[in-house]
C-alpha cells in the first residue's frame, strides 16, 4: 500500500470514528490493520451495541480478497462481535454491510456499486 493510499484510508477511518464517538461509542483503531490484515480497522463499543468495521473508501465496487475475508469471519467468530464492511463512496454517506451480505466471486468477496444504497446507514447500524 502506498503512502498516499494509507493516509487516505486513515483519514476515512478517523472520520467514521469521530461520527461513532459523537453517538456515544468508545472507538479503537487498529493501526496498520490493512498491512497486517489480522483484524478489522475499527472496533466500536457501547453498553448496548458492539461491532467492528473493515473500512473502504472506494468509488466503485468493493472487493475483499478471500484470505482477508476469511480472517474477518474468524475474528467475528472468536470475538463474538459482528464485523461490517463500511463503505464510503465519494459524495455519499457511509454504508454498512454485514459480512454475510458480500458475494463470493472467483478470487474475492464483493459488494457491487449497485448494492450501495441497500447498505445500512449509520443510523441503522447504531
**Cβ atoms 94, 111 nearer than 8 A:** no
Residue 121: how many other CB atoms lie within 10 Å: 12
Cα-Cα-Cα-Cα dihedral sign, residues 124, 21, 59, 92: positive
Spatial neighbors of 35 by CB under 8 A, at least 6 apart, are 1
Report the catalytic residues: 33
Amino acid at each position: 500500500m502506498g503512502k498516499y493510499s494509507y493516509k487516505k484510508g486513515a483519514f476515512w477511518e478517523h472520520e467514521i470514528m469521530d461520527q461513532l464517538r459523537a453517538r456515544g461509542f468508545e472507538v479503537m483503531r487498529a493501526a496498520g490493520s490493512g498491512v497486517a490484515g489480522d483484524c478489522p480497522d475499527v472496533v466500536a463499543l457501547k453498553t448496548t451495541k458492539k461491532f467492528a468495521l473493515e473500512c473502504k473508501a472506494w468509488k466503485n465496487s468493493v472487493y475483499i480478497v478471500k484470505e482477508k475475508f476469511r480472517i474477518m469471519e474468524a475474528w467475528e467468530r472468536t470475538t463474538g462481535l459482528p464485523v461490517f464492511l463500511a463503505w464510503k463512496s465519494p459524495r455519499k454517506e457511509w454504508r454498512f454491510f454485514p459480512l454475510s451480505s458480500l458475494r463470493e466471486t472467483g478470487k474475492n468477496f464483493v459488494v457491487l456499486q449497485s448494492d450501495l444504497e441497500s447498505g445500512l446507514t449509520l443510523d441503522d447500524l447504531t
